[in-house]
A and B are shown apart, each in its own frame.
Chain A
Amino acid sequence: MSVQTNSQIAGGVDAAREGAATTATSGESILLWRLASIVLFCLAWEIAGRIPINVAFPPFSEVVMAFGRIVADGTLPAAFLDTLQPLVIGVFLATAVGIVMGVGMGLREELEWAGVPVFVVMQAAPMAALIPLITFIYGIGLTAKVLSVIILALPVIALNGYKAVRNVSPSLRAMCRSFLGSRRQEIFKVILPDASPMIFAGLRLGISAGFVGVILAELLITPTGIGDLITYHRSIANYSEMYAAIATIILFAAITVGLLERIEIALFRPEKKEHA
């Protein structure tokens, strides 16, 4: 037995189609605007470099050429590998530990009492100030760099995970229990998917912080990787190369963080696919 009139269903479909159409067009125009803003930015850079504002500020075109040179002579790829190794290890550890601890603190009061104050202090404190201390204890090797990444990335990942779980809709949790969901099912089928946008927001912030951590470690303590490439080219007044290295790492960080959003939508939020 169908108890709804056809006109209503048709109306509903129309409304839904309309909605999809508007988001599609706005999606395209958003892309256009983004492209326009990038072009405008490069143009402004080019002009500012040619005026020039400062001898140490090369125009965009020269930076692009310098980029070609440091890729060709192999110094940029080598530096990237050096930087990526501690970054990947650190981000991986901070993600695993941060999500488990954050979700744990959100679910259990004992963990909340024990953990949240620690992470709040860690997030508020200028953790970068600890990086020289880490060198003092762990030397200037890989461990020190990995630790620099972790101390910067972990607090924001853990705290976001905690807040995400705390903000899960109580009504969805009640729904899961009323339909006889076990605690395990409640966590995996309701809490984690509902918390995933905020958990991923924490991951994005955490990964950005991880980039800061590894570059700081390279600038402050272990002269290797991208940080060293930047310092080296600055010291010999190769400003174009220096900017090429800086721009590359910024671009790389932005792309990584953007990819993460795609991964999140693919894994947890299929309903947002058509809008992304």
Chain B
Amino acid sequence: MSDSLNYAYYPGCSGTGTSIEYDMSTRAICAKLGITLNEIPDWSCCGSTPAHTVDHTLSSALSARNLALVEKMNLSTAITPCPSCLTNLKTATHRMGKDEFRDDVNKLLDTPYNGGVDTKSVLQIIVEDMGLDALKSKVVKPLKGLKVAAYYGCIMNRPPEVMNFDDPEHPMAMDNILTALGATVLPFPLKVECCGASFGIPRKDIVMSLSGKLLDAAQDIGATALVTACPLCQMNLDLRQDQINSANGAKHNIPVFYYTQLIGLALGLDEKELGIDKLCVSPRKVINDIGAEDAS
């Protein structure tokens, strides 16, 4: 079976920097789960949000350069942890289905891309290709007692015609994974609400307000940790949590994990390998409490 779990891997720029722990934990759990990641040699930036705000041909060309590299690897599927990269790769594929647009994009490229590469999130292949039962069978340290809110962010599943995965309003993939790991997943009403995205630097006030609401909601439902699948969401909620507290007069102290880090912990992997020490809000207490027979 592990034969089939073989993918081209696109880490994305933030995976080499601000979300390095997402990349580390993704690689660590895939190695443990028998999922082979072949990093796309010499991949370049997908253009993220800024490129599509300037022009769609430019944006798709930046993505398509990478898809053309995947074609050369003779692999049919490329996966990435980052929803923003995924959106760009998928949107490029989707729009390049139209001949005229494809020709315009290929005019910008050294090596033209003619389609044929499927793109998915790491989350999607864990749920669909590997399966929850297989994941569950490898859990050695169930996340008993850990009460989490799973936050998907705005673009992991939307728009549905492009993303083609899970429910656009009420996604369950991470909820189901976390349940399989033994955690208690609380119903989180703001699963797909935007966190403020990439406005952290040019309009911090927006992030303070939108991410502030997410932290408030997580606290209201009694979550002791938030779980994300997006580097931007994670950064807004974790790195900026103190700023959010000062802006809103709040006192949140909620660790914000990547779901891959929690899979890693449940698989018994070393915290160091999962980049747990890279998180800003310390998850120490929350991790120490895992499995402790609850006093209640």
A and B are partners in one complex rather than unrelated chains: no
Residues of B near any A CB (own CB < 8 A): none
